[in-house]
């Protein structure tokens, strides 16, 4: 930051962690993806996050990964930022994928902390700094211990926030005290985004900037409105929206994400209920609960 002036782009509001539509043969369903991106933007989401864990990026080829981002960028056509997933537990692969995502047109990059390797905090710092030094797109740190097996501590995030290219954190630790510590001590212009839909109101009440949401795949307008109310300090309306969303906020995680979201979007006619192994379709035992949660939030008409 030159002369104390922070010119880093700021991510705020609701960003949808996009599911990836697949056709019946398992290939990318480009037509469904194009329609889905336009619907999301039309419903008022503030940015889009393709090729994260919700998007099943772990089972995509590099060519598919790039194509999903290219299509998302094309259909967004500059209307919203595109935060492309580019994470890897191999730092050099993460750098290479970041360069591919820049060429595909992404405006930002989402980088999960390295999974499986379980580096110490100084290793996590070295990983992110190597990426940030190698690519000139703004980076969102993604802390999701339940998937990676290690936590990015508050002090680590705050150290990373000093780098001009590291502009935000998606915090999915579920540790509100840790998230609040980051909010209190972050540099100006560094965004703190909830990575857990149930904690969006709490994180924003503490001064956070929004959410990278799973539930907004199904109810984008309601989640976007929730973040807008919180940004305006309208806690009463935000609480009402949160309570209205609660059945689907629970239903969206009745099995591993994105299994419930894919089932819900199939019921809504947005895409086919096709996942890639090792993910499998929603268990029949959850079908009634899923439908009732969608009816409760107005995503499906009551039968």
Catalytic annotation present for 128: no
Distance from C-alpha of 72 to C-alpha of 30, rounded to nearest angstrom: 10
Active-site residue, selected from the candidate residues 93, 118, 128, 170: 170
**With b meaning 16 or more CB within 10 Å and e meaning fewer, what string describes 187-206?**
eebbbbbbbbbbbbbbbbbb
CB atoms under 10 Å from CB of 92, counted, come to 11
- How far separated are the first and last CA of the chain, in Å rounded? 56
Closest CA to 82 of 55, 64, 102: 102
Distance from C-alpha of 35 to C-alpha of 293, rounded to nearest angstrom: 24
Active-site residue, selected from the candidate residues 142, 162, 262, 270: 142
Q: Known catalytic residues?
A: 142, 170
């Amino acid at each position: 930051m030159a002369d104390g002036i922070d010119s880093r782009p700021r991510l705020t509001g609701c960003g949808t962690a996009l599911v990836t539509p697949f056709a019946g043969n398992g290939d990318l369903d480009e037509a469904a993806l194009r329609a889905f991106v336009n619907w999301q933007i039309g419903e008022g989401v503030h940015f889009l996050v393709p090729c994260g864990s919700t998007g099943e990026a772990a089972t995509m080829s590099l060519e598919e990964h790039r194509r999903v981002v290219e299509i998302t960028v094309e259909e967004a056509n500059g209307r919203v930022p595109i935060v492309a997933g580019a994470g890897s537990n191999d730092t050099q692969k993460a750098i290479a994928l970041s360069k591919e995502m820049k060429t595909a047109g992404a405006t930002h990059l989402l980088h999960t902390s390295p999974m499986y390797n379980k580096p110490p905090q100084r290793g996590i710092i070295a990983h992110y700094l190597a990426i940030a030094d190698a690519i000139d797109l703004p980076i969102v740190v993604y802390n999701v211990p339940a998937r990676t097996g290690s936590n990015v501590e508050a002090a680590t995030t705050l150290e990373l926030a000093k780098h001009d290219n590291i502009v935000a954190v998606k915090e999915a630790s579920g540790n509100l005290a840790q998230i609040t510590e980051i909010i209190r001590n972050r540099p100006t212009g560094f965004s703190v985004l909830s990575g857990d839909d149930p904690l969006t109101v709490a994180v924003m009440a503490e001064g956070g900037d929004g959410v990278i949401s799973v539930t907004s795949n199904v109810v984008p307008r309601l989640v976007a409105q929730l973040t807008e109310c919180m940004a305006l300090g309208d806690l009463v309306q935000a609480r009402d929206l949160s309570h209205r969303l609660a059945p689907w906020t629970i239903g969206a995680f009745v099995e591993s994400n994105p299994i419930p979201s894919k089932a819900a979007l199939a019921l809504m006619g947005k895409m086919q209920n096709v996942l890639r192994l090792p993910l499998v379709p929603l268990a029949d035992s959850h079908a009634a609960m899923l439908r009732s949660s969608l009816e409760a939030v107005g995503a499906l008409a009551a039968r």
